[in-house]
Amino acid sequence: MTKQDILDFIKEQKTAFIGSVDENGYPVIRAMLAPRVIDGNDIYFSTNTSSKKVAQYLANNKACVYFYKRGRFKYQGATLIGDMAVCQDQPTKDKIWRLGDRLFYKKGVTDPDYSVLKFTCKSAEYYCDFKIETVLFD
Amino acid sequence: MTKQDILDFIKEQKTAFIGSVDENGYPVIRAMLAPRVIDGNDIYFSTNTSSKKVAQYLANNKACVYFYKRGRFKYQGATLIGDMAVCQDQPTKDKIWRLGDRLFYKKGVTDPDYSVLKFTCKSAEYYCDFKIETVLFD
């Protein structure tokens, strides 16, 4: 597997799962709609500024993003490990915004409750047929 | 939401996602087939003794188990927070074993590469329609 193979795999998936570590050191998982933008090693999601995950990433930026494809008895999965930044600057918010987002953020692209999560991948593990391959992102 | 509502929701889902924390403090996510047994606050999965997640849980038992159901623009999800035990005692291995498991563990129910993950839930968060409810498991 190469970095490009991993990117091709994740682009096919409609759901992403993001992991954070809470204030007591426990891992937390949440499903997200597929990333808005993938740009080099950076993966962007939109989110609510008031959400618990934003508070968790501001306190501890260690993160993972997981994608999977289910077969009958097994899975293909890619776990990306890296750091999550919470972006509230207008250029980043503009970069990710889509028209339909007004459904979630009534005040539009400048809504203070609209934030961007920017995940920077450092390495990935790809699981398939009970085998694991590690791919470094540099 | 009550504890029973959470249990009813998770029993409907065919895939579970388990979270661990790796040796560098990063969260890690993996998809799993639905739990084998749910018994009180305990949720059981089968796994390979040699797998990385077993090593991670032996070093740090802080865990979460996540279940979700996807709608068009949103998700229902339940994040269960608790501790993960790696069980290698024969009574627990017998409790979870199913006939088809020989496909994965050639030596059968006593295969040393067959282990059981036992997750004990302490609390759950249920997400629906942009609202979160916390339910304590006691």
Q: What is the pLDDT of residues B65-92, one digit of tens each?
A: 999 998 877 789 999 999 999 999 999 9
Output the pLDDT for position B26.
98
pLDDT at B11 over 90: yes
CB A29 to CB B132 under 8 A? Answer: no
* Chain B residue closest in CA terms to A80: B28
Using CB atoms, pick whichever of B48, B62, B70 lies closest to residue A15.
B70
CB A63 to CB B28 under 8 A? Answer: no
A-chain CB neighbours of B15 within 8 Å are 68, 70
Give the span between the Cα atoms of A78 and A1, in whole angstroms: 11
Of A13, A20, A57, give the one whose Cα is nearest residue A38: A13
| Share of residues in chain B with pLDDT > 70 (%) | 100
Using CB atoms, pick whichever of B21, B48, B77 lies closest to residue A25.
B21
Of A105, A89, A81, A104, give the one whose Cα is nearest residue A18: A81
Rounded to the nearest 5°, which phi and psi values hold at B110? -100, 5
Query: What ipTM was predicted for this assembly?
Result: 0.93
B1 pLDDT band, cuts 50/70/90, is confident
Neighbours of B62 (CB within 10 A): 20
Task: Indicate the DSSP class of residue B73.
Answer: S
What pLDDT digit, counting tens, does each position of A68-95 carry?
998 777 789 999 999 999 999 999 999 9
Establish, for the pair of chains A and B, how many residue pairs have beta carbons separated by less than 8 Å: 93
Q: Could you give all domains of chain A from N- to C-terminal order, each with its CATH number?
A: 3-136 (2.30.110.10)
3-state helix, strand, coil in chain A (%, to 5): 25, 50, 30
Shortest Cα distance from A16 to chain B (angstroms)? Answer: 11
Q: What is the largest CA-CA distance in chain A?
A: 47
Give the span between the Cα atoms of B46 and B101, in whole angstroms: 9
Output the pLDDT for position B135.
93
Question: Would an 8 Å CB–CB cutoff place B101 in contact with chain A?
Answer: no
pLDDT at A40 over 80: yes
CB B66 to CB A17 under 8 A? Answer: yes
Q: Which of A23-27, A114-118, A129-133 has the lowest mean pLDDT?
A: A129-133
pLDDT at A4 over 80: yes
